[in-house]
A = this chain, B = another copy of it.
């Protein structure tokens, strides 16, 4: 394998372990063993565990961003429906995982924001990128006449994204989809109504 491939493999296997065990609770050796890479070679690929954490965020983020782009581009008569389908896709994924894991960006945020400033800055950027996607859905819906012209799109997106993260967090505890059902009902049947 090339160095680039080994690095990708370490990120992929590391992501799987961190997703369940947490960042601090995951030893560098756990990752090397899972990837089948010789002990002691971690620092050949990453300057530090901090740097690994930052690259991990770039590894997790496309799950959200690429899926959002797909639903943003999907032909539709309702971009609110597309946003709904986008969130439903995540719920399906989380159900298939028996409600284990949740949102990796949120997990890292709660664990690392107070401990590492560089990781926090990166997480802040990640949330902003995620938020911009939600804004785009709302903007398309607004242009499509589905939302009031005066709606503050950025604030609405922030509220939706944070509430969604809150529902994901709660689902880790309940191990059922109820928190997302409630999210769905309040966001899509009450908030995102053109009135």
Contacts and interface: CB of A to CB of B under 8 A. Distances in A.
A182 to B, nearest CB: 5
Nearest to A110: B110
A142 interface: no
A170 interface: yes
Interface string A103-120: 000110111011100001
Nearest to A25: B24
Grouping DSSP codes into helix (H, G, I), strand (E, B) and loop, the A interface class, with mixed when no group exceeds half, is: helix
Nearest to A106: B169
Contact of A172 (B113, B169, B183): B113
B114 A155 contact: no
Interface string A157-181: 0110111111101101111001100
A127 interface: yes
Interface of A: 20-22, 24-25, 100-102, 106-107, 109-111, 113-115, 120, 123-124, 127, 155-156, 158-159, 161-167, 169-170, 172-175, 178-179, 182-183, 185-186, 190-191
